[in-house]
Amino acid sequence: MTVPESSADSAANAAGLAISLSLIPHADEQLCLTLRIRNLTATTLSDWNLQLDFPSAAQAGSGTEMSHRAGSHITLTPSPDADLGAGAEAELRMLVDAAFIQRYHDLPQGIFLYAGGEALSVDVVERNIDAALPPVSAEEQASEGPRRDDSAIATEAIVPRPLHCESNGSRFHCPRVLLYDPSEPAEEAIRWLQLNLPLQLQPAADSAGAATLQFQVDESMDDEAYHLRIHSAGISVAAASRAGFLYAAVSLTQLFPPDGELKLPLPGVDIRDKPRFGYRGLLLDCSRHFHSKQTILKLLELMALYKLNHLHWHLTDDEGWRLPVSAYPQLTAVGAWRGLGEALEPQFGSGPERYGGCYSHADIREIVNRAAQLSITLVPEVDVPGHSRAAIKSLPELLVESADRSDYCTAQQYTDNVLNPALRETYTFMYAVIDQLCELFPGALIHMGGDEVPAGAWRDSPACRRLASREGYRDCAALQGHLLRAAQAHLAGRGRQMAVWEEAAAGEGLSPESAVVHAWTDPGAGIRLANAGYQVVLCPAQYTYLDQAWSRCPQEPGASWAGTTDLEHCYRYEPFHEALNESGRQRVMGIQAALWSERIASRETLEYMAFPRLLAVAETAWSQANNKSWHHFQGRLGTHEKLLDRRDVNYRGTKPKPG
């Protein structure tokens, strides 16, 4: 297991520039972050500035000017201007709220010095910040997670925990070559077993009667349910659908020794199982940092291993546009890249070099097809009208109203990331994007975002004021609903349903019958929306956002704006409580974990943040509340650590690190 390190740390410094970071308390619960730059070269640097990424609000401190800011990317210059002589030092300062720096990952990332038209690398040599960080107890410092409890019996090592699982007292002397009866609905289940069992599978040559692995279609069962039996004569599986057969195969592979060694005979077991929720999801953000096709394909396999069935694919945001749209090639030619000299500045530690990427139509079809084989539905997201800076920078001649003087700032520190709902070209663009999504993604849901539009957007747009007046809206803020209702109507014409974030249902937004709502701000938000008549996917950040740090230890990677989320906290989330009425319960489609990638730049970090916490979300989504047990879950973790080891997953360990 590797703990991901900050991308600000550099192993080498070809430019001969060093920087140290220190924090000292300032007034009004602020910290002063001092950046001391040392010029170790023999060259005087003139007209220089320091550029870095810091995603939270900040102000310039004494002797410093914040000459530019876009999102997380900040440019600091000395005030007054001064050369940085050979062997000399200079100090720049930022004032930040103490709440914004809780751990090392909260420090500035992607630091470089710009002088003479060139970006110069900077070596972070010192970070004197421990004294300014919130105190952390020795217990928190030492804790790596739950201690393993191996008391769970082997036949119940399955995650998510099945509805009914018991030993039947028999034993199966499994041959090294397992004969199966071919069954078209079980094709993917058979393929899964061939790849994951420590034995060979071959079709029975004569008849199903000769097979020791038998599949039976039972149309009376629920769609994703299955019945798996290991008995003295062999293994039998009954299910009504491809998904049911696949989930039986997944459970069967988890009953075999996780180290890949075949130990015989197999104990007899009888499992009857079905999911609590029909929607069991994971969001992957590929905009803030681009994740390769190979990373996504591996993630799909891991989702199937834990019976998750929806991948919510966040394809566009302020920091990158990853979806190829035939009508607008500029979206990926321009909006998929950031760096110095690009339309999009560096963000989240990506540095001055050209950084980014996009998926081809062939890539997307391959991902969609593999997901379908694994009974996973792709839910693509193009976020509008906010979070649209990459699109706006790619198509400014279409998407910018020159007379718009609206003044706003988003939570992500952008002042230019909201589509204008009064421009005809906005709808032409949006409909073309929707048509492309419908062509590439066959699933019923298309996610259109609708979150975090800041106050003040459109307020000083002449076109928006005219539209609001013509439509009888009380103010320009109501134009978000206007635009999203147009998107919903276009999607309905293509036979699709729109999904949105919870903000889209506020005020004069969408009516309950219009869309599926993902509720994220707190555990009660989804309850209120379900009671109000909306179909809801529950994804409260405090329990399901896996980009949040595991603990308060400053070395732990991740964000902390929603609090920390260790494995037990994540596991103990219960979607239903007494405030949810009976009709509201029927409208809760399921739950979803999220991997937002502001701080997740690599597959290694992605896996570290996701596992094993994704197992906890998967069990909450699948297993009935009265069948969940934190104690029992702990007892199964050892088996699943070995399963993840075999799949080369960089999970966060649940045992203390050596030394």
Q: Looking at the annotation, which residues are catalytic?
A: 317, 387, 452
Neighbours of 362 (CB within 10 A): 10
**Buried-exposed string 525-548: b where 16+ CB fall within 10 A, e elsewhere:** bbbbbbbeebbbbbbbbbbbbbbb
> Residue 191 — left, alpha, or beta (φ > 0 → left; ψ -120 to 50 → alpha)?
alpha
DSSP 545: B
Cα distance between residue 27 and residue 32, in whole Å = 9
DSSP 103: S
Tokens, residue 245: 């057969």
By DSSP bridging, strand 30-39 and strand 17-25 are antiparallel
Q: Please report how the helices 479-493 and 424-440 are oriented relative to each other, as an axis angle in degrees rounded to 10.
A: 40
Cα distance between residue 143 and residue 546, in whole Å = 18
- The alpha helices in 180-312, defined as continuous H runs, are 187-196, 242-255, 293-305
Cα distance between residue 612 and residue 97, in whole Å = 32
**Terminal Cα distance for the chain, rounded:** 14
| Cβ(637)–Cβ(612) below 8 Å | yes
Neighbours of 458 (CB within 10 A): 27
Q: Which residues contact 528 (CB under 8 A, 6 or more apart)?
A: none
Cα distance between residue 474 and residue 549, in whole Å = 41
Cα distance between residue 365 and residue 440, in whole Å = 7
DSSP string, 9-76: --S--TT-EEEEEEEEE-STTEEEEEEEEEE-SSS-B-S-EEEEE--S-EEE-TTEEEEEEETTEEEE
